[in-house]
């Protein structure tokens, strides 16, 4: 690359928040260098997300949806028990509709679709699904470059340089094994949190890393957070994870998957924790954030218990149960939801394959199964007896599970256990900022010229991911745009 020595703003990370920040800043006449650690831009905002939240958008108004910024603001603050930053929340929500228009004007169009999770069907529609996602992101980047922006791929940020007064003066970078410095007046750290850094995950997660299955950005290794912390950024709320559902994984084969078993993970069968006890109404499976929270709170994993009668039934019969993820995927393809699962003609073989890949266990008796799982056999026996009574009476006196899902006793061996582990889409807490996404020190003073956005920034959440669909992606885009605008206004 031609060495770049000077610019106005360096943006670290070219995902949704980084692109949002960089394009907004060049629109306001600033020189911007956008760094991307990998060889492709987009990050989790492109490769993972399918859309974003917005409120009071033109599309919602066209459908006469009566859901306001005030409604969303109160919903979010109540979810976080008012332990989040109200000013940040208000600003993100207030900008969300205009950001939908801005994305469309720059080539990334969206369509307002039905909410993608079953419990949210009576909630106002808020999910704006990307149209032609990859081409749309390319148009955003083309517009950035056409306006004079510079994208450097395979380039990492190494450190932020400040002068004697504490003002940002540059960023040290690493490009293709060679380090250099770009002089700048502001830096926006937008590189996606730290889900890709196993040491940081182990330090800040409440569960063991081996049961926290990451579906987040592997390149998000906490570089921006660590750089900002070194210049005084406050990390008091670091360690919030975007828990999202649970999944069955093989500890020995990362590429292993069996669709039939994933479907069984997505319905409310019998779940037990590491104490051999039920821990939740399994219908929580239908709300991904709450399902993820319940799994995380249970220690990061649980077991799904099946008996041979259920397996034999599912090999031959279809159930009028809804796969929790069916609506999500059918919305993408604009197909109707069937509200049915099965039959799974290969289920017996799929379970054997899962056992071979250490994702499941089987035994002729419940006592033997308990010993394999390192559970107390008496506790497991008591849990199964109680659950079978609930099933016989069609009444769950413990957690009030709907009678529809009290359809299968666990009594005919052999028995099976699938291990479902916490799934995280990323980390969603890092550096404290104000509503302009300016980094704050431990005394809440602004560190001039330093900004944190997206998964690098704290303030929008409390201890868990909210149930508003698409809110983390909306936070990424809007916090990025706010940071780009804020930096440009100060420099201009």
Confidence (pLDDT) at 324: 98
Average pLDDT value for the chain: 97
For residue 486, how many other CB atoms are within 10 A of its CB?
A: 22
For residue 400, how many other CB atoms are within 10 A of its CB?
A: 10
- Tell me the per-residue pLDDT of 404-461, one tens digit each, with 9 for 90 and over: 999 999 999 999 999 999 999 999 989 999 999 999 999 999 999 999 999 999 999 9
Q: Domains (ranges, CATH) in the chain?
A: 9-207+217-240+428-491 (3.50.50.60), 242-423 (3.90.700.10)
- Tell me the per-residue pLDDT of 13-35, one tens digit each, with 9 for 90 and over: 999 999 999 999 999 999 999 99
Is residue 487 pLDDT above 60, yes or no? Answer: yes
Confidence (pLDDT) at 420: 98
Strand partners, 89: none
- Tell me the per-residue pLDDT of 319-353, one tens digit each, with 9 for 90 and over: 999 999 999 999 989 999 999 999 999 999 999 99
The model carries a pTM of 0.96
Is residue 486 pLDDT above 80, yes or no? Answer: yes
Is residue 1 pLDDT above 60, yes or no? Answer: no
Percent of the chain with pLDDT over 90: 97
Confidence (pLDDT) at 122: 94
For residue 196, the 8-state DSSP code is T
Distant-in-sequence contacts of 87-93, Cβ < 8 A, 24+ apart: 87/434, 87/435, 88/433, 88/434, 88/435, 88/459, 88/460, 88/479, 89/459, 89/460, 90/435, 91/435, 91/478, 91/482, 92/460, 92/474, 92/475, 92/478, 92/479, 92/482, 93/55, 93/69
DSSP character string of 125-166: P-EEEESSHHHHHHHHHHHHHHTT-EEESSEEEEEEEE-TTS
**Which of helix, strand or coil describes residue 473?**
helix
Closest CA relative to residue 431, chosen from 412, 444, 421: 444
What is the sign of the dihedral through the CA atoms of 16, 192, 189 and 53? positive
Radius of gyration of the chain (CA): 24
Rounded distance between C-alpha atoms, residue 265 and residue 189, angstroms: 37
What is the sign of the dihedral through the CA atoms of 399, 402, 408 and 414? negative
Q: What confidence tier does 2 reach under pLDDT thresholds 50, 70, 90?
A: low
Confidence (pLDDT) at 332: 87
The answer to whether the CB of 53 falls within 8 A of the CB of 127 is yes
Is residue 3 pLDDT above 80, yes or no? Answer: no
Is residue 485 pLDDT above 70, yes or no? Answer: yes
Confidence (pLDDT) at 492: 85
Distant-in-sequence contacts of 66-73, Cβ < 8 A, 24+ apart: 66/124, 67/124, 67/126, 69/93, 69/94, 71/124, 72/126, 72/468
Cα–chain-centroid distance for residue 158? 26
């Amino acid at each position: 690359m031609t060495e770049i020595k000077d610019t106005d703003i360096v943006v670290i990370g070219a995902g949704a928040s980084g692109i949002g920040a960089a394009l907004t800043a060049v629109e306001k006449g600033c020189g911007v260098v956008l760094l991307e650690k990998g060889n492709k831009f987009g990050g989790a905002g492109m490769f993972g997300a399918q859309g974003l939240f917005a409120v009071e958008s033109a599309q919602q108004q066209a459908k006469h949806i009566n859901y306001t910024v005030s409604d969303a603001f109160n919903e979010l603050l109540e979810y976080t028990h008012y332990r989040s930053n109200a000013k940040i929340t208000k600003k993100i929500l207030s900008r969300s509709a205009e950001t939908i228009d801005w994305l469309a004007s720059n080539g990334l169009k969206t369509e307002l679709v039905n909410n993608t999770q079953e419990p949210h069907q009576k909630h106002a529609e808020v999910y704006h699904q990307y149209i032609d996602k990859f081409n749309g992101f390319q148009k955003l980047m083309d517009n950035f470059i056409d306006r004079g922006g510079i994208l450097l791929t395979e380039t990492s940020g190494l450190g932020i340089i400040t002068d004697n007064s504490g003002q940002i003066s540059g960023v040290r970078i690493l490009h293709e094994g060679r380090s250099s410095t770009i002089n700048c007046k502001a830096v926006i750290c937008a590189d996606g949190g730290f889900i890709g850094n196993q040491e940081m995950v182990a330090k800040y997660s409440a569960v063991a890393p081996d049961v926290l299955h990451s579906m987040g950005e592997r390149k998000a290794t906490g570089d921006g957070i660590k750089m900002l912390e070194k210049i005084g950024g406050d990390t008091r709320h670091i360690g919030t994870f975007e828990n999202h559902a649970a999944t069955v994984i093989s500890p020995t084969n990362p590429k292993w998957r069996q669709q039939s078993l994933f479907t069984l993970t997505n319905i409310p069968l019998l779940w037990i924790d590491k104490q051999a006890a039920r821990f939740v109404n399994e219908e929580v499976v239908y709300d991904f954030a709450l399902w993820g929270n319940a799994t995380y709170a249970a220690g990061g994993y649980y077991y799904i218990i099946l008996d041979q009668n259920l397996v034999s039934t599912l090999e031959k019969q279809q159930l009028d149960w809804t796969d929790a993820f069916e609506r999500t995927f059918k919305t993408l393809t604009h197909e109707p939801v069937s509200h049915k699962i099965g039959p799974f003609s290969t289920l017996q073989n799929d379970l054997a394959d899962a056992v071979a890949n250490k994702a499941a266990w089987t035994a002729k008796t419940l006592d033997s199964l308990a010993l394999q799982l390192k559970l107390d056999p008496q506790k497991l026996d008591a849990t199964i007896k109680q659950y079978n009574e609930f099933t016989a009476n069609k009444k769950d006196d413990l957690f009030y599970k709907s009678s529809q899902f009290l359809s299968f006793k666990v009594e005919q061996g052999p028995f099976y256990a699938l291990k479902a582990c916490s799934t995280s889409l990323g980390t969603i807490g890092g550096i404290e900022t104000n509503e302009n996404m300016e980094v704050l020190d431990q005394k809440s003073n602004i560190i001039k010229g330093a900004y944190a956005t997206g998964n690098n920034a704290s303030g929008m959440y409390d201890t868990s991911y909210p149930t508003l669909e698409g809110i983390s992606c909306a936070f990424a885009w809007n916090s990025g745009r706010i940071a780009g605008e804020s930096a440009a206004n100060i420099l201009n």
